[in-house]
Structures are given as C-alpha cells and as structure tokens.
A and B are shown apart, each in its own frame.
Chain A
Amino acid sequence: MKAGSNLEKVLSAGKFAVTGELGPPRGADAEVIKEKAHHFKGIVDAINITDNQTAVVRMASWAASTLLIQEGLEPNYQMVCRDRNRIAMQSDILGASVMGIRNMLCLSGDHQIFGDHPKSKKVFDIDSIQLIGMVRKMRDEKTFLNGEALTKPPQMFIGAAENPFGEPYEFRVHRLAKKIEAGADFIQTQCIYNMDRFREWIRQANDMGLTEKVYILAGVTPMKALGMARYMQKNVPGMDVPDWVIKRLEGVEKKQQAAEGIAICCEQIEEFKAMKGVAGVHIMAIEWEHRMPEIVEKAKLLPRPMV
C-alpha cells in the first residue's frame, strides 16, 4: 500500500472502483458540503473535491475534503497548478496529509480566462506532470522538490487526469505514459461520450502495457437534458460529444431526457466493466449529486466493496 486509502484498497483488491465528484460552495458554508455529501454515502469509494473548477472561486478543496472526512467519506483532493507555486503546493500537500487526506488528483487547471476572475495572474510554476512527480518524490523519497529531506512524508495515492479526446490524438497515450512515469497511481479520464475513440485509446494503453502499471477510471457525466448535451458538444473545450448522444436525447420527450441521459451513462458503464484495462468509473454528476444513488444503482455498482 502506498497510501492506504479506501480507493487504493478497492483498486488493489481488483474490484471495479466507483468515484464521484463534489464541487465546494462559493461561500464559507459547511452545510452545503454536508448536504451534498450524504448523497454519496455507501455508493462510492472516494469523492473528488474540485479545486476552483473552471477557475471560479470556491471554498479550498483541502478544507472541503476535511469536511468530507468528518462526514465519514473519503475525499480525492484535487489540486491545480494555476493558482499556487511549488512552495504553496508542497505546504498544502503536507497539510492535506496530516488532516487525513489520502488521495489526490494532480491537474493543470482551467485557464483563468474561463472563470470569474479572468484577468487574474496565472501561476503554473510547475505543470501537472511535474506536480505528480513532486508528490511522488515527497511520498517515496521523503524529500521536497529541491531534494532536501522532509521529516515525515505525506501519504497520498496519486491520481492524474487524461483526456483521450484532446488533440493530437496519437500523442494522448504517450502523455498517459509520461504521467505514469512521473508517478501516477491512478487515472481519471475526461468525460467519455465518443466510445469509439475511447476504445482505441484504451487499446493503445493496453498494447503499451500501461494499464498494468496504473488504474484507469473511465470518466462519465450523465446528460441531464438535450440542452446540456448540445452545450457540451459546442462549447466545452476538450469535450467530444458525438451526434448519436444528441439524437438519443432528441428521440424522447423533454421530461424523459434526464432518464435517457442516465440510461446512456449506465450502458457505457456496463461496457467499461467488461473492458480490458478499465479499473473503475469516475461519475461526474455535475450539480446532480442527489441523483447519484439512482445512477449508481441503475449501473449495478452496488453494494460497494468493504476492503
């Protein structure tokens, strides 16, 4: 065991893992976290706590992560490179570990131009791959990035993201390899809709032996409505929504669209369960936390393993 998190235990036991996602509130409000958290109880193995996602200011992800621990749930603490330099990052990693956080997801972060402070100054002192390497170094070599010894290493199961749908497509699997080489223990992918491209990407990862070195959790986001699908197809960077998704949602009545979105998601999860190289699923039900129990049940992912 590298960190001993529940997620690590589930994955290393060979069980199909399930993670969820929770966005902290735009205020000093613990109740929102607690309310959202109870929807996840007993249905996921860990919950990603986003770090100012889309560059919109929210409660610190480490703070929201500790609130989640108090609720008896396991966080996957997200950290982006946009807002902190290596000094702040290493400090936050030590702080997170001491508060009982055992998983972290290392990301570059959306550019601030997409957020609510578009003219803020970017940091990007190090990038996501360098961040992965830094956490691994702190954990395994017990040193800071500069090589100086630290007293007690942070215990972190190290995660990274990868987008099989970003250009150039041929390079994506090599970027995955770099993340593994840097020290990633698990990968959560961008939301998958284009199954053909995902199948090709995972085939390449299998062929290169990468799926034996890292646990890959396939990312899914159930479409709440036709409007959301159209918006994601046109306006969300790095998202690949094929026309068949739009057509399926068009084919049902408006009030049936949410159920259809969930049905599509569950069909994808069924395929992932049998797909070589896929170790679990990361369900990003954006501002739809209350539907998580239904989604997880319909996807036949219950009960969650006790490991």
Chain B
Amino acid sequence: MVIADIKPLEEIKGMLKGYERVLNVGCGGCVAVCLAGGQKEVDNVNTRLALSCKTESVILQIDGFTVERQCEVPFLAELDQMVKPYQALLSMACGAGIQFLAERYPDKPVFPAVNSTFVGVNRDIGWYEERCKCCGDCVLGITGGICPVTMCAKGLFNGPCGGPKDGHCEVSKDIPCAWVNIYDRLKGQGRLDTIHKIYAPREWQDQVQGSIVLEAYRDRYTKQS
C-alpha cells in the first residue's frame, strides 16, 4: 500500500493562511490503514488546527469528511455538493488522491496534509517499510523476492557493491544489504545461478507518466475519438 506521513501542523497552518472555511477530506484507503489520513487522523488534525488557531486568534472553521477512496471517481462524487461552501480543501489522501480531488474541483485550492512517502508494508503497528519503487519492470523473480531497485541504496542489478559489512549496507548499519539478503535467499533455494548471469542495462519504464488501459477495455476508451 501507499504509506504516508502527516505533515507538521505549522506547515499545514501556513498553507491554509487566509482561508477561513476549509474542508479536510480524508481517505479510507491505504492512508487509513497506515494511520495517516483516515477519519481518525482527520479528526485529530482538525482538533489540533482548531486549537492552535484559537490560541493565536486566527479565524478558521475546519470541517472533516472521509471518503472511501480519493483515487476513485464514484467516491469523490459524494463531495460535489458538500465542498461548495468551502474556500479551500485539505486532503489527507496520498499524492494520487490529492491530485484527483484537485482535478475534480479545479476552482478550489487544494492543499496536502500528508507527505506520501513510499509503497510499503505494515511490519507491525505503526511500523512501515518501503518495498517497491513501482519501476514498471519487476525483477523479483530473479532476485529471490527482494527488490534491488528499492532495497539496495545504489539500486544495483548485479550483486552487492564493495561496501556491505556484517550484512549491513554501507550507508547505515540500520539498513540491511539487499544483495546479501538476495544472495542468502537464493542460496537457500539453490538458485544462485540466476544472479551469476550479467544483468544488462535496463530499459527504464518509469521515465514518463504511466498509464494502463486493460486490453479488455481498450475499445471502450479509443472508440470515442
């Protein structure tokens, strides 16, 4: 899932300066699971904002509403009437959701309340780890299910650099060396031959904006033109 992190309150306040009536829109998707942008976090941010503004005698009426997912049109449509009285919108969805919200209401200033940080996993409560760079050309099949694009600090494709020590990456002893782990896992599976071959310079697939239309739906989106 997409992992996000709530922005510092001061930064959010700075963006909202001058707007007296704001709707904070949460998202019930990934950001709710990682405790960054669901209903609970919307309430929390709004309470802190209101309190802070009151203390500083700043006028701000901030309300909250959380949609199922901000990255889908039918869920956003619920907001069409609701947003009308607000001067600006705050969004606690990931960057994709925020942009989709802003696209739907182009006349409304939309501000992000979270930083989207990575596609990752829920290691334990409140503990998230990055796993995927969405590079568009997955190599996990030959790297023992461990991503060198994401987990190797240099993004190397042909084994570890000269830096690992005691299984850690040279950049930090808190970060395991992806390639030591890849090696160990493939060795355990008897598949080391896959990383003995030279992996050629790759054809990067993520250098322009991505877009996928499933084969089965292609007619539906091309007929119109």
Taking Cβ atoms with an 8 Å cutoff, the residues of A that contact B are: 111-113, 119-122
CA A119 – CA B203 in complex, angstroms? 5
- Residues of chain A with a CB closer than 8 A to B208's CB: 111, 113
CA A41 – CA B49 in complex, angstroms? 67
- Among the listed A111, A112, A119, A122, which residue makes an inter-chain contact with B205, where contact means beta carbons less than 8 Å apart? A119
CA A91 – CA B203 in complex, angstroms? 28
| B207, CB-defined interface residue at 8 Å | yes
| B223, CB-defined interface residue at 8 Å | no
Q: How far is the CB of B153 from chain A (nearest CB, A)?
A: 14
| B204, CB-defined interface residue at 8 Å | yes
| B196, CB-defined interface residue at 8 Å | no
- Among the listed A111, A112, A113, A119, which residue makes an inter-chain contact with B202, where contact means beta carbons less than 8 Å apart? A119
Most chain B CB neighbours (cut-off 10 Å) among A113, A121, A122: A121
Binary flags per residue of B173-209, CB closer than 8 Å to A gives 1, else 0: 0000000000000000000000000000011110110
Q: 5 A-B residue contacts at CB 8 Å?
A: A111-B207, A111-B208, A112-B207, A113-B208, A121-B207
Q: How far is the CB of A157 from chain B (nearest CB, A)?
A: 33
Q: How far is the CB of A115 from chain B (nearest CB, A)?
A: 12
CA A121 – CA B133 in complex, angstroms? 14
- Residues of chain B with a CB closer than 8 A to A120's CB: 204, 207
Give 4 A-B pairs besides A119-B205, A119-B207, A121-B204 with Cβ atoms closer than 8 angstroms: A111-B208, A112-B207, A120-B204, A122-B207
8 closest residue pairs by CB, A with B: A119-B203, A121-B204, A119-B204, A122-B207, A113-B208, A120-B204, A112-B207, A121-B207
List the A residue with the shortest CB-CB distance to B202.
A119
CB proximity to A under 8 Å, residues B82-103:
none
CA A119 – CA B201 in complex, angstroms? 10
- Residues of chain B with a CB closer than 8 A to A122's CB: 207
Q: How far is the CB of A146 from chain B (nearest CB, A)?
A: 18
- Residues of chain B with a CB closer than 8 A to A119's CB: 202-205, 207
- Residues of chain A with a CB closer than 8 A to B204's CB: 119-121
CA A111 – CA B204 in complex, angstroms? 13
- Residues of chain B with a CB closer than 8 A to A112's CB: 207
Most chain A CB neighbours (cut-off 10 Å) among B203, B204, B205: B204
Binary flags per residue of B208-220, CB closer than 8 Å to A gives 1, else 0: 1000000000000
CA A110 – CA B202 in complex, angstroms? 20
Q: How far is the CB of A206 from chain B (nearest CB, A)?
A: 33
CA A112 – CA B202 in complex, angstroms? 14
Q: How far is the CB of A87 from chain B (nearest CB, A)?
A: 14
Q: How far is the CB of A82 from chain B (nearest CB, A)?
A: 10
List the B residue with the shortest CB-CB distance to A121.
B204
Most chain A CB neighbours (cut-off 10 Å) among B205, B207, B208: B207
CA A207 – CA B101 in complex, angstroms? 39
Q: How far is the CB of A109 from chain B (nearest CB, A)?
A: 13
List the B residue with the shortest CB-CB distance to A117.
B201
- Residues of chain B with a CB closer than 8 A to A111's CB: 207-208
List the A residue with the shortest CB-CB distance to B207.
A122
List the A residue with the shortest CB-CB distance to B203.
A119
CA A103 – CA B137 in complex, angstroms? 41
